[in-house]
C-alpha cells in the first residue's frame, strides 16, 4: 500500500516534492493545498509541473482537503517562520496527520522558539502523530552531516562548517532571499527587517551543540552582502558590478567564551567553486569535503521525501533529525 | 548517575574503549573480563593502559563478573566472528544487560547469519535489552556515512566507496590480519582459511542495499595481496620488497546483473595517501572525501563509546546502525 501524501504549499519546493513523490512507487499524491489564486482549482499535476494530470484539484481550504483526501502524511512547504505556519500546523494536526515540513525555524526550534515547539509537540502527541521539519540547510549539510562525523571522535573541541553555493543554480525566490540585485543600502534595510537572509544558522548551531552536549553562552548570526565585481547573470536576474549578488552569513556558537561552532555560508550568483566542508577539531581531527556541493533545491525536496517513512513510523510528538533513525534515500518500495 | 560499563574483552580495542570511558564523566567502568591468563587477576586500569588503577580485578568468569558488577551496559570486544561470540552474547543477555559489540559479522548479520541474528534478537527481547554491533568499518565509514549521504538524493543508481589506510598507524593485530610480512603463498593460504582478511565488506554491502531498498543478486568479497616494492617498517614489523604489506579487498553488490555497490578497501603498510571517498551516482551526483582518512583504532573505540547511550535507550532486540538515532559524539555528561 502506497503512503498517501497531501501537498500543503506548492511553491518551488512543494512542487519539487510532488514531482519526486510521483516517481516513487511507494508514495502517492492524494491532494494539494495552496493559497495562490493562480494555483487554486487547477490540477495538481499541472501546478507541480508533472508530465501528467493527477485528477486532483488544488484547494485553498486545508481542513476540507485533509478531510477529503485522508492522507497518511502531509508535506508542508509554505514559510520559513514558525509564527506564520503555526495555524497551518494546528489545522493539519487537528486531522491527526503526520507532517514533514520545510519550515526552517522548526528544524531545531528548542533554542529560539521553545514555547511554540512545546505547543506543536503537545498537538502532535494529542493527535498521536509525528512532526518533523527538515531540508538541506538547516536539516542536513550544516548540522546533520557534521554531527554524524563527530561519531568517530573520542573528543570534540570545535566544529567548523563551510557551505559555498553558486546561487545561479537556485530558484528565483532563493536568489531574492539572498538579496541578489539590490544596492548595499537596500540590502542593509532588508537584512535588518529579516526579508533578506538565510534562515537556519542559529537552528543548526543549536542542533550541533545539543548533539554534543554543549551548553552555549550565546549564538550569533551575522550577515553581510557579497558585491558583484563584474556583471553576473542567472536565469532570472542580471547583477551589475557594485550591486549585491548574494550573502555571506556566519553563525557562531560560543562556549566558555570561545567560538566552538562556526558555520560559514556563502551563497551568491557566480561563486566560482561550490562545496561543503566540515572540520572537526578534536581527536581525531577530521576534514570532510564535498566538491561541487549539494544542490539545494533538489536536495531539500529529496530529504523531505526520504524522511516520509521515518516520520510515518515515528513515535507521536515533534521530532528533529537528531532523534530519527539514520537518514537515507527512500526508494518508495 | 553515570552509566556503568563492563568491559568484555581487553585486547587493543577493548582497552582503548576502557581508556575513553575513563575520560567521560557520564560513564564509569565497573568491571573487566578477559580469558588471557596474562590479564586475569590484574587491575583493569593496568590492563587497559590507564594512568591509574581502578580497584577492579579482571575476571575470567563472565557470568560471575556480570553478577558482581551489575553493569548498565557491556562493551564486548572479543572476535570478528558470530560463531565465536554467540555463547558470550548468551551469557551477557542472561544477565539482562544491553550490549555494544565490535563483532564485525554482527554489525549487519541479516545477509550471512540470519539464524544467529534471529537467535540473538530473541535473547535480547527476552532480556528486554538492546544489542548493537558497530565500529569504524563495518559500522561507519563504508556503510553509515555513504547511506547518510544518499538522504540528499532523489535517485540513487550506484554507490562507490573507497577506503585507503596506511596500516602502519594500526595495531599489530590489524597488521597481522592484513597479512603484512607474509609471502604471497602464505597469504593465499591464510586468505583461503579466512585468517587474513578484513571482515565486514559483505556486511556493509548488505546494509547499504537494505537502506536503499535494493534486492541484490549476489555479493562478492574478493581479496588480493599488496606487495611491498621497497622495505617498509611499522612500529611492529618490517616487510622486505616482494613480501606482502597488506590487502586490497573489494566487496561488490550486484543488482539486476550490474555492480550497484562497490566497496574498495586498501590497507597496507606505507600507503602514501590515506582517505575515505564516497561517490553516489544518481540525482544529484555526490562526491565526499575525507583526506587523511578516519584512523581505525581510535575511531572504532569512539564509535562504540558514542553508541552506548543510544543502545541503553533503545527498544529491546538486536539493532543495527540503520535503525538507531543519528550517530554523534557522546560527551558523557
Asked if the model's pLDDT at residue A333 lies above 80, the reply is: no
Contact state of B321 with A326 under an 8 Å Cβ cutoff:
yes
pLDDT for B242 equals 97
Are residues B206 and B234 both part of a single domain?
yes
Are residues B245 and B120 both part of a single domain?
no
Give the residue-averaged pLDDT of A256-266: 97
d(CA B327, CA B136): 12
Are residues A166 and A306 both part of a single domain?
no
Are residues B191 and B91 both part of a single domain?
no
Count Cβ neighbours within 10 Å for each residue of A149-169 and write b for 16 or more, e otherwise. Answer: bbbbbbbbebbbbbbbbbbbb
Averaged over successive runs of 10 residues, the pLDDT of chain B (333 residues) comes to 96 96 95 98 97 96 98 98 98 98 97 97 98 98 98 98 94 90 96 93 98 97 97 93 97 98 97 96 98 93 98 97 97 81
pLDDT for A61 equals 98
ipTM of the predicted assembly exceeds 0.90? yes
Q: How far is A107 from chain B (nearest CA, A)?
A: 15
Reported as half-sphere exposure (CB side, CA atoms, 13 A), residue A329 has a value of 30
pLDDT for B227 equals 97
pLDDT for A297 equals 86
Q: Confirm whether B76 is domain-assigned.
A: yes
Chain B: residue nearest A307 by CA? B151
Are residues A286 and A153 both part of a single domain?
yes
CA distances in angstroms from B47 to B174, B226, B236, B304, listed in the order given: 19, 34, 20, 19
CATH of the domain at A169: 3.30.360
d(CA B136, CA B145): 10
Q: Confirm whether A213 is domain-assigned.
A: yes
Are residues A177 and A240 both part of a single domain?
yes
Q: Confirm whether B90 is domain-assigned.
A: yes
Q: How far is B232 from chain A (nearest CA, A)?
A: 25
pLDDT for A161 equals 98
pLDDT for B198 equals 93
B contacts of A307 (beta carbons < 8 Å): 151
pLDDT for A1 equals 85
d(CA A74, CA A32): 10
pLDDT for B77 equals 98
Q: How many CB pairs under 8 A join A and B?
A: 165
Chain A: residue nearest B208 by CA? A328
pLDDT for B332 equals 81
Give the range of the structural domain holding residue A64, as residue numbers without chain letter: 3-134+298-319
Are residues B113 and B18 both part of a single domain?
yes
Asked if the model's pLDDT at residue A301 lies above 80, the reply is: yes
Are residues B306 and B285 both part of a single domain?
no
pLDDT for B206 equals 98
- Which three cell numbers, joined as nine digits, stand for A245? 549578488
Q: Which of B151, B309, B314, B331 to mutate to test the interface with A (most CBs of A within 10 A)?
A: B151
Are residues A223 and A104 both part of a single domain?
no
pLDDT for B131 equals 98
Contact state of B325 with A327 under an 8 Å Cβ cutoff:
no
A contacts of B212 (beta carbons < 8 Å): 328-329, 331
d(CA B151, CA B283): 11
B contacts of A329 (beta carbons < 8 Å): 147, 150-151, 153, 156, 211-212, 282
Q: Confirm whether B265 is domain-assigned.
A: yes
pLDDT for B128 equals 98
CATH of the domain at B108: 3.40.50.720
- Mean pLDDT computed over every residue of chain A: 96
Contact state of B326 with A147 under an 8 Å Cβ cutoff:
yes
For B105-122, the DSSP string reads: HHHSTTTT-HHHHHHHHH
Q: Confirm whether A327 is domain-assigned.
A: no
The C-alpha torsion from A15 through A17 and A21 to A26, rounded to 10°, is: -150
pLDDT tens, residue by residue, A106-159: 999 999 999 999 999 999 999 999 999 999 999 999 999 999 999 999 999 999
Q: Find the CB nearest B286 among A211, A284, A290.
A: A290
- Which three cell numbers, joined as nine digits, stand for B185? 603463498
Pick the residue with more confidence: A93 or B176? Answer: A93
Q: How far is A285 from chain B (nearest CA, A)?
A: 9
pLDDT for B171 equals 87
Give the residue-averaged pLDDT of A234-260: 96
Q: Confirm whether A242 is domain-assigned.
A: yes
pLDDT for A263 equals 98
B contacts of A155 (beta carbons < 8 Å): 23
Number of domains within chain B: 2
Q: Confirm whether B67 is domain-assigned.
A: yes
Chain B: residue nearest A290 by CA? B288
d(CA A246, CA A263): 17
Q: Which of A16, A130, A154, A204 to mutate to test the interface with B (most CBs of B within 10 A)?
A: A154
pLDDT for A170 equals 87
pLDDT tens, residue by residue, B168-177: 988 888 899 9
Contact state of B329 with A286 under an 8 Å Cβ cutoff:
no
Are residues A63 and A189 both part of a single domain?
no
Are residues B155 and B258 both part of a single domain?
yes
Q: A173: pLDDT confidence band, cut at 50, 70 and 90?
A: confident
Contact state of B326 with A153 under an 8 Å Cβ cutoff:
no
Q: Find the CB nearest B287 among A287, A292, A326.
A: A292
B contacts of A327 (beta carbons < 8 Å): 147-148, 151, 326
Are residues A266 and A223 both part of a single domain?
yes
Amino acid at each position: 500500500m502506497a503512503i498517501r501524501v497531501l501537498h500543503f504549499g506548492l511553491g518551488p519546493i512543494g512542487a519539487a516534492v510532488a514531482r519526486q513523490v510521483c516517481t516513487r512507487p511507494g508514495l502517492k499524491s492524494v491532494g494539494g493545498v495552496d493559497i495562490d489564486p493562480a494555483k487554486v482549482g487547477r490540477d495538481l499535476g499541472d501546478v507541480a509541473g508533472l508530465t501528467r494530470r493527477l485528477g486532483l484539484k488544488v484547494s485553498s481550504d486545508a481542513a476540507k482537503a485533509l478531510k477529503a483526501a485522508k492522507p497518511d502524511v502531509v508535506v508542508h512547504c509554505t514559510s520559513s517562520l514558525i509564527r506564520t505556519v503555526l495555524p497551518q500546523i494546528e489545522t493539519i494536526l487537528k486531522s491527526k496527520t503526520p507532517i514533514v515540513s520545510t519550515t526552517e525555524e522548526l528544524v531545531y526550534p528548542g533554542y529560539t522558539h521553545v514555547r511554540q515547539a512545546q505547543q506543536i509537540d503537545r498537538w502532535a502527541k494529542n493527535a498521536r502523530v509525528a512532526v518533523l521539519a527538515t531540508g538541506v540547510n538547516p536539516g542536513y549539510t550544516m548540522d546533520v552531516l557534521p554531527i554524524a562525523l563527530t561519531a568517530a571522535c573520542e573528543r570534540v573541541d570545535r566544529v567548523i562548517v563551510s557551505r559555498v553555493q553558486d546561487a545561479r543554480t537556485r530558484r528565483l525566490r532563493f536568489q531574492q532571499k539572498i538579496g541578489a540585485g539590490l544596492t548595499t543600502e537596500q540590502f542593509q534595510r532588508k537584512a535588518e527587517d529579516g526579508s533578506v537572509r538565510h534562515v537556519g544558522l542559529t537552528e543548526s548551531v543549536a542542533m550541533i551543540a545539543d548533539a554534543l552536549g554543549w551548553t552555549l553562552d550565546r549564538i550569533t548570526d551575522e550577515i553581510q552582502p557579497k558585491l558583484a565585481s563584474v556583471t553576473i547573470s542567472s536565469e532570472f536576474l542580471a547583477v551589475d558590478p557594485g550591486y549585491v549578488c548574494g550573502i555571506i552569513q556566519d553563525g557562531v556558537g560560543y562556549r566558555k567564551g570561545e567560538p566552538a561552532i562556526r558555520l560559514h555560508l556563502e551563497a551568491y550568483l557566480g561563486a566560482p567553486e561550490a562545496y561543503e566542508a566540515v572540520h572537526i577539531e578534536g581527536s581525531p581531527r577530521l576534514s570532510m569535503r564535498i566538491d561541487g556541493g549539494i544542490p539545494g533545491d533538489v536536495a531539500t525536496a529529496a530529504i523531505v521525501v526520504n524522511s516520509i517513512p521515518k516520520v510515518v513510523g515515528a513515535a507521536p510528538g515533534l521530532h528533529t533529525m537528531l532523534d530519527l533513525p539514520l537518514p537515507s534515500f527512500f526508494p518508495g518500495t
